[in-house]
Amino acid sequence: MSLWTKLVNFVEGVDDETDLKDLHEEELRIASAALLINAGSIDGNFDSNERQKVKALLQRRFELSADELKRLFQEATAEERNAVDLYRFTKVLTRELDQDGRKRIVEMLWEVVMADGVVDEFESNLVWRVAELIGVSTRDRVVLRKMVEARLAN
């Protein structure tokens, strides 16, 4: 069941088991996944390293089963493809996450864009734009990049 269907059912009172917390969590998952997928594909080449990194990060962050991960990846891919801008995803992150959670998203974005060993200008620009939209400072964005680079160098 898509997020939109869950939301309509919730508003109409059709699905008593769906509560607002579950809807917000699902929205957070999709927004996070869509941004990570965008980071992996923005350079025109969503290679297997980037794809696997996105899946591993999502599975670890949201404690997903293989089936849940597959469904989330498919739904987020469709959402990302249909998005006209980043705001529809970043507004969810800003609303749902505290500052530490937002910084974790920026760190995850760096992990994805560095997964293929090359950070191009489109990828770097995407991380900058997302960080700005979710209120992560330039200083924190740079520190997170250096942390990920150091981790990958070992």
**So where are the chain's domains?**
3-153
Predicted confidence at residue 7, as pLDDT, reads 55
Distance, CA of 24 to chain centre: 14
Mean pLDDT of 18-36: 85
Question: Tens of pLDDT along 94-152?
Answer: 999 999 999 999 999 999 999 988 899 999 999 999 999 999 999 999 999 999 999 99
The better pLDDT of the pair 28, 4 is held by 28
Question: Tens of pLDDT along 45-98?
Answer: 899 999 999 999 999 999 999 999 999 999 999 999 999 999 999 999 999 999
Tokens of 3: 């997020």
Predicted confidence at residue 99, as pLDDT, reads 97
Predicted confidence at residue 20, as pLDDT, reads 59
Binning pLDDT at 50, 70 and 90, where does residue 24 land?
A: confident
Q: Which residues contact 95 (CB under 8 A, 6 or more apart)?
A: none
Predicted confidence at residue 145, as pLDDT, reads 97
CA 97 to CA 101: how far, in whole Å? 5
Q: Could you give the C-alpha distances from 110 to 19, 42, 73, 95, in angstroms and in order?
A: 33, 13, 19, 21
* CATH number 3.40.50.2300 given to 3-153: no
Question: Tens of pLDDT along 4-16?
Answer: 565 566 556 555 5
What single-letter DSSP state applies at residue 15? -
